[in-house]
Amino acid sequence: MRDTLFEEIDALYEEMVEMRRFLHQHPELSFQEEKTAAFIQEQYQSLHIPYEANVGENGVVATLKGTKPGKTVALRADFDALPIQDEKEVSYKSKKEGVMHACGHDGHTTTLLAVAKVLQKHQDKLAGTVVFIHQHAEELVPGGAKAMIEAGALANVDVVYGTHLWTNTPYGVVQTAPTNFMAAADSFTIQLKGKGGHGAIPHQTKDPVVAGSQLVINLQQIVSRRIDPLETAVITIGKFLSGNVFNVIPNTAVISGTIRTFNAEVQHFIKAEMEKVIKGTCLSYDMAYDFDYAFGYPPVVNHPEYAEKVLEAAKQVKEVQKAEMVAPTMTGEDFSYYLQNKPGAYFFTGAQIDNGFVPHHHPLFDFDERAMKIAAKTLIAATLDVNKS
């Protein structure tokens, strides 16, 4: 049965490319994915697979019950886009100004729909149940996963799998990790409240630019000098906004960034240390401040048994040249919530284009569409393995 399903995925490839490119041209931002959700629902209607719409808001959950008894496997794909202008010069360029699929979610959606299509054709031979979770709003905290789980997306599920088409990894390579795989992703904003004035008379001001510059340096010392070197942590400043005139010292400055960790104790320690550093720095500059810290997605922690099963499944796919365990990455993903509730694993399907690497969340982002076949086949093999006799 597995080989037949693989052959049918191959036969669907041109259709998959067409679907992915259609979705790429019609992206929708997180929590605004109404047309994309309707498109997914239409696919399940045509397949005569029962589904539930508006799960947790815009999510779609379809359920395919095999004729033979067995466990229930959930497969998840996300479908939201990003507020980025598509700068690729391709026929399938985004038609929506300032919005694009810059992370591969169009490919994830296409992959899962292809898996559903081929499994439905063999429902009479299928053991157990497969639940297809199409999740909205992965890109924007609080995300869609938590709300979908609270709405019952994982009810009666025994195992959950998911994959990310990953352009950091070459085509033909499948990667996962036995436990920690992706980091907790928090964010913060600091507003420094100074006293503006003439750039030629700085002693009459409380300069938030100078204070903010010192604060950026001081915050970096939390990881380098206050965290055990054997722990993993990142503090990144992504935004520093202040002033708009070259000879005027502004009243305020705003600094924003992200924190990445795996250990909850380290995560909370960093927040506490940031409060100390901000308070101390601002005290030295006689400046008030506001500090807002937002806890984001928890880390993606695979279950070792199922991470191994992912690699075993990938090795059954002829296009896969390498299936390997890798070190964790500091990127974040709300697939973490699924793995907090059920055993399973998340994995990367290499999708790097031969003629060059463009990172995720980049205006020129694209991926090797052949990777969708590898992703589909690996998910199929892992699903069948759960109920193999």
**For residues 257 and 187, what is the distance between their CA atoms, to the nearest angstrom?**
6
- Which sign does the torsion angle of CA 365, 370, 372, 374 carry? negative
User: What are the backbone angles phi and psi of residue 203, rounded to the nearest 5°?
Assistant: -70, -15
**For residues 91 and 7, what is the distance between their CA atoms, to the nearest angstrom?**
28
Please give the DSSP secondary-structure letter assigned to residue 299.
P
State the DSSP string of 82-147.
BS------STT--SSTT-B--SSHHHHHHHHHHHHHHHHHTGGG-EEEEEEEEE--SSSTT-SHHH
Residue 212 to residues 219, 225, 234, 284, 388: CA-CA distances in angstroms?
10, 20, 19, 12, 59
Determine which one of 80, 186, 207, 273 is catalytic.
80
The helix/strand/coil state of 186 is: strand
Mark whether 366 is an active-site residue.
no
Evaluate the omega torsion of the peptide bond into residue 142 and state whether it is cis, within 30 degrees of 0: yes
**For residues 63 and 133, what is the distance between their CA atoms, to the nearest angstrom?**
9
Task: For the chain, state the CA radius of gyration.
Answer: 23
Mark whether 138 is an active-site residue.
yes
Determine which one of 78, 86, 138, 368 is catalytic.
138
Count the alpha carbons within 13 Å of 244 in the hemisphere toward its beta carbon: 0
State the DSSP string of 305-338.
HHHHHHHHHHTTSTT-SEEEE---BS---TTHHH
The helix/strand/coil state of 24 is: helix
Count of beta carbons in the 10 Å neighbourhood of residue 322: 14
Q: Which of 339, 284, 279, 333 is nearest to 307 (CA)?
A: 339
Enzyme catalytic residues: 80, 138
